[in-house]
Amino acid sequence: MPTYPTGVECHGGKLRLWFIYRGVRVRESLGAPDTPKNRKVAGELRASISYAIKIGTFNYAAQFPQSPNLKRFGFVKPDVTLDEIADRWLELKKMEITKNALSRYISYLKISMDIIGRDKPVDSISNEDILLVRKELLTGYQLCGVNQLNRSAKKGRTVRTVNVYMNCLGSMLRFAATNGYIEKSPLDGVDPLRKSRAEPDPLTKEEYLRLLNTCPSEQIRNLWILAVNTGMRHGEICALAWEDIDLKNWTITVSRNIAIKGHFTPPKTECGNRTITLTQAAIQALKSQMAYTRMGKQHQIDVHLREFGRTRTDECTFVFVPRLTARNGKGGNWYAPGSFGATWNEILKRAGIRHRRAYESRHTFACWALSAGANPNFISSQMGHTSAQMVYSVYGKWMADNNTNQMDILNANFGGNAPPMPQSNSQ
């Protein structure tokens, strides 16, 4: 039976020290094999640590820089820069977010770190540094050198966008605090900036007709008719294939999205996997588009699923093919969201219509459907919302506009026979 110096023990075949620090017994693994020579060296190390603790010169973080006990005693891991923390956090974050989200996080952190200083030790970042980042993002800046900002050179970001940047930066700094790189996040106590609710800005019927009449090709016209008449997300339309369309019942099964070029994923949310019932205008647009792409080339594409590392292969004959209308004849086999939105901007400009985000095509569908008296729950399922609450909160104004007709509906239908109870409540 081997003998061990005081404070030295074997754990899993490796040597471990125990000692009393600040009145608490702690253990630290040395990672060294349990041999007579190593036991002697470990005993000497333990004696030196005990002596340093006694005279008040022991530096826990320097002696055991990777110890989980550092956070327990309020120490931080030394000499770690902001850039290094960002690399570590993003590497671990890859497993839980999409490729598109990862690229956005990288962009948010790059810009934020350029303002603070990439090589600045993370434990020296102050609450003031965080407030400076927020101020510069709001007012506008451009880097002219190392931490040299030209505040008039770049347009400031919106409050909504700045809050997104700060949320990303805060998540990274909380990671640093949790893992002992800093004592606490300097973003603690920094509240999100107040922002006003962005109201939907749908097209009017007259603007919609002008937009269609200005489309440079039949395919572009069909594309925007489908967008406005279904409320589909643009990435879902880019990834739409004829294999997803029931040409007998005229429905679309949404099971794919594309957020960045060449990278297919499931829809934005689980509720985004849905079946859309098509309006007559959408049906006519698809019938028109059939002549261009229905018998086109079928592609095998990889869809990156939500579970990390898993993919599925879909066979897709894409409904909208940009190379058919590309001026140089070199367009791709399916649209990317960026080029998709560019067609919207061009058409608005040519038609003399006040500029709006391309996403307003989705808002237009919701607002028109509500104005027509459609059930909010039906609209929610068509658009792939998690619940009808989104429809109530975002489009409540258009629902209120219908209140004048409600008494007419009640008077016309309220005096007759009582409706049958739902099956589950009829007993």
CA 253 – CA 273 distance, rounded (Å): 7
Catalytic residue among 93, 263, 268, 350: 268
What three-state secondary structure class fits 321? coil
Phi, psi for 419 (deg, rounded to 5):
-70, 150
What contacts 24+ positions apart, CB below 8 Å, involve 403-408?
405/373
Catalytic residue among 16, 77, 362, 363: 362
CA 139 – CA 135 distance, rounded (Å): 6
CA 96 – CA 75 distance, rounded (Å): 29
Q: What is the largest CA-CA distance in the chain?
A: 97
CA 125 – CA 116 distance, rounded (Å): 8
Catalytic residue among 134, 233, 256, 274: 233
Report residue 373 as tokens.
């008296």
Catalytic residue among 105, 181, 335, 395: 395
- Give the pairing type, strands 143-145 and 14-21: unpaired
Assess whether 354 carries a catalytic annotation.
no
What three-state secondary structure class fits 363? helix
Per-residue b or e along 318-345, where b marks 16 or more CB atoms closer than 10 Å to that residue's CB: bbbbbebbeeeeeeebbbbbeebbebbe
* Under 8 Å between Cβ of 14 and 33: yes
Q: How far is CA 84 from CA 125, 134, 223, 281, in A?
A: 14, 21, 45, 54
CA 264 – CA 303 distance, rounded (Å): 5
Q: How far is CA 101 from CA 236, 265, 346, in A?
A: 17, 12, 27
331 Cβ contact partners less than 8 Å away, ≥ 6 residues apart:
321, 322, 323, 324, 325
CA 214 – CA 351 distance, rounded (Å): 6
* Under 8 Å between Cβ of 72 and 61: no
Residue 313's beta-bridge partner residues? 302
Assess whether 233 carries a catalytic annotation.
yes
Judge residue 54's burial from the number of C-beta atoms within 10 Å of its C-beta, 0-12 exposed, 13-18 middle, 19 or more buried.
exposed
- Chain CA centroid to CA 301, Å: 23
Assess whether 151 carries a catalytic annotation.
no
Catalytic (active-site) positions:
233, 268, 362, 385, 395
